[in-house]
Amino acid sequence: MNANLPLPKYHQIYLVLREQLIEGAYRDGLPGDFSLMRQFGVARITVRKALSQLVDEGLIIREPGKGTKTVTPSRSNQSSAKSQVQVKQAKLSGLLENLVSMGLNTQVKVLSVQILNPPEEVCNGLQIASYETAQKAVRVRSTEDGPLSYITTWVPADIAKNFGKSELEKKPILLLLEEAGVNVARAEQAITAKLADSVVAKHLDVQVGSALLGVKRVIYDEHDRPLQWLSGLYRPDRYEYQMQLSRVGSIKAKVWVSKELSARFH
């Protein structure tokens, strides 16, 4: 656990588990108390206090002798649990060019590549049915200073058939998509804060519960078909977005619009 965070350990554990539950993890139930104790390196009373908060929030049910079951929230409850704040979205110019540049100027380690039925969030993003398959790839990007990002991508199986682990280790995925015969046209993305769980913390060389920059991105072709759904976790000490803004409109209705976006990493 991160001793530098101004949060009790049980609350750090609660936040990490809550985030994972909302994103659809642990559908078959949470690990047992002793497993969570080993994962987070804390005492049982700390784990139980974190789980108690999840019970109070209605995300899990604790049954003596039967373990811990997850509760599938409704879509409206999921939106409420994720945030009580309405997030404004903005299109980011220059995004695709920066993504390719990052891919060419960092090293990548492909952790896994699988063909699976995506979870609901990914199906919605890719606009595919739940019975359809997609390629799930998990990668870690690094610079000379160390690990930079933990990236999970999903690509529809009919497109991903043209590349696999060996290709992902050599080229940025946007270039592979172009080589697969599709024209990448635009991307939509949202940026938020995330917490590192035990798996991500290990790969990014940070402590469990550390704050990360979380990115959700969907890339579209020229016909507005989704080509890729991405979830990225970035170390904020090695990665940042820079946006230039300009004032437009009449004197009584001037607004800020994004002019250019650049990504800096080290």
Which CATH number is 50's domain given?
Answer: 1.10.10.10
Helix (H) or strand (E) holding 45: helix 44-56
Average pLDDT over residues 250-256: 56
199, 254: one domain: yes
Helix (H/G/I), strand (E/B), else coil: 26: coil
Q: Which two tokens stand for residue 132?
A: 């359809």
Do 106 and 27 fall into the same domain? no
pLDDT for 209 equals: 87
- 117 and 78 in a single domain? The answer is no
Res 77 pLDDT > 80: no
Per-residue pLDDT reduced to its tens digit, 117-164 = 999 999 999 999 999 999 999 999 998 888 989 999 999 999 999 899
Q: Specify the range with the lowest mean pLDDT, choosing from 104-108, 162-166, 171-175.
A: 104-108
Which pLDDT band holds residue 104 (cuts at 50, 70, 90)?
Answer: low
Domain residue limits at 52: 9-82
Residue 242 in any domain: the answer is yes
| Structural domain includes residue 182 | yes
At which of 50, 82, 114 does a domain end?
82
Same domain, 155 and 195: yes
| 117 domain residue, yes or no | yes
* CATH assignment at residue 158: 3.40.1410.10
- Helix runs in 57-94, H state only: 75-82
pLDDT in tens, 181-209: 888 888 888 888 899 988 999 999 998 88
Do 13 and 114 have their domain in common?
A: no
pLDDT of amino acid 59: 86
Nearest to 157 by CA among 104, 187, 188, 117: 117
Q: What is the pLDDT of residue 89?
A: 32
Q: Give the whole-number percent of the chain exceeding pLDDT 70.
A: 75
Q: Residue 166 forms beta bridges with which residues?
A: none
Secondary structure class of 67 (helix, strand, coil): strand
Quick one: pLDDT at residue 252?
A: 59
138, 252: one domain:
yes
* CB atoms closer than 10 angstroms to residue 71: 13
Q: Is residue 89 part of a domain?
A: no
What's the total number of domains in the chain? 2
The answer to the question of residue 2 being in a domain is no
The 10s digit of each residue's pLDDT in 8-36 is 788 888 888 887 887 778 877 888 889 99
End-to-end CA separation in angstroms for the chain: 25
d(CA 105, CA 87): 31
DSSP state at residue 251? T
Pair 150, 200: CB distance under 8 Å: yes
Confidence of residue 256 (pLDDT cuts 50, 70, 90): low
Entry pTM: 0.64
Q: With 50 as the cut, is the pLDDT of residue 88 above it?
A: no
Q: What does the pLDDT read at residue 155?
A: 96
| 185 vs 92, residue with greater confidence | 185
pLDDT value for 174 = 82
Residues 6+ apart with CB under 8 A from 205: 146, 147
